[in-house]
Chains A and B, each alone.
Chain A
């Protein structure tokens, strides 16, 4: 077990294509880090550089105190779980697990013990003498995990290990991976494009976009305080609503609506306003509200996603299925639930320090209809 330090690492392919742009991440010993981002964001490339399957163009990667830029993949003291399992098809499950240990000249008795332990942990004991082709997808994934576990490496690397499984199995395997990692306490680097997987597994999330880090943080911090419009629209389902607005003094203008923010306006002029679908709610009688025109409704069972517009700006509102729907709804949001982003670079605009204090009572919207 060891910390991993990724310092200003870049990957430059021939033709000057920069897939990863000066990325730095400090991973603590035993931490579960998830790299998340859309396809082509460089997350897999970064993982493969740590694994040694891709060369590191610039920067350094340290596992523990050792710089491993030039170290052979087999000598890096890491184990990797691949998306399509990458089991050796000609070997039995036992041989698959034992292969890495055998090559490291581990004594036979120790190999047996470690394989038995991993097999027990992953409940694959009945299949030890089967070939991978005789296993189901979930069982193969367990074997792939077992192959990583038996090595007792300093770090686990996961490259989208669950994306070949069906939805139900994915959820249960997700839980299992998390449980195993906590139990073994092994530093882990996990790549996924699924934000839900990222949220549920990570101690800390690293959101990547176009080879750059958009944000590093604990899942809930990233969710509640997205650092940019990209993160806001990537993390959370449904995605955060982003609409155009303008701030003048302490007032936010959205279309013809004016919203009194109090003393907390972070900027003057145009802003992008972020609203979480679940923060929007129906206005009570006599409450100030915005007119929301419903386009269509997605029924999810536990909740209902209502898609529509406020003065031609598209918006999604998450409502309880108990609320009866009509053509138009009056919706409102607490002002401390508003997020502001720069219209120029999409970066988050922090509001006053007092704003983040959740103890403070939420101030209701104060709307003044335009003249």
Chain B
């Protein structure tokens, strides 16, 4: 870990984080859900002001959803992966759109793909999918093959070779 990141990690000690070093410039910070916003605010104040990505991982065996915020510093090139786990059956979290305006769209996307509700973000219209009628598609228990079989069932198609040949020859209009 770089020395500048070490200092930032020390300032996070009050939040009782679980620190994992992935790389010299990449650190994963796992905290409990009620402390995430404060951790993000602290990191933002320490120069990690660029929200690279906000995403979600579905840990179906643990019945949990992991929310991931990746923060990047343009000063020293360090990355913080801030992660927290929320209940999968009742996925509710708080918005960070006041910290990063673009998070509004990331939250909309996560609501659509994982079914996470973000309190404080009132714009939860579908973003990418149209007329979606199933469970959120990026959850692990959603099977795209079953869905497409159900939604677009196979039709019976019997080929009439003679008729097609006649159309081909121009004897009848197809």
- Whether chain B is bound by chain A comes out as no
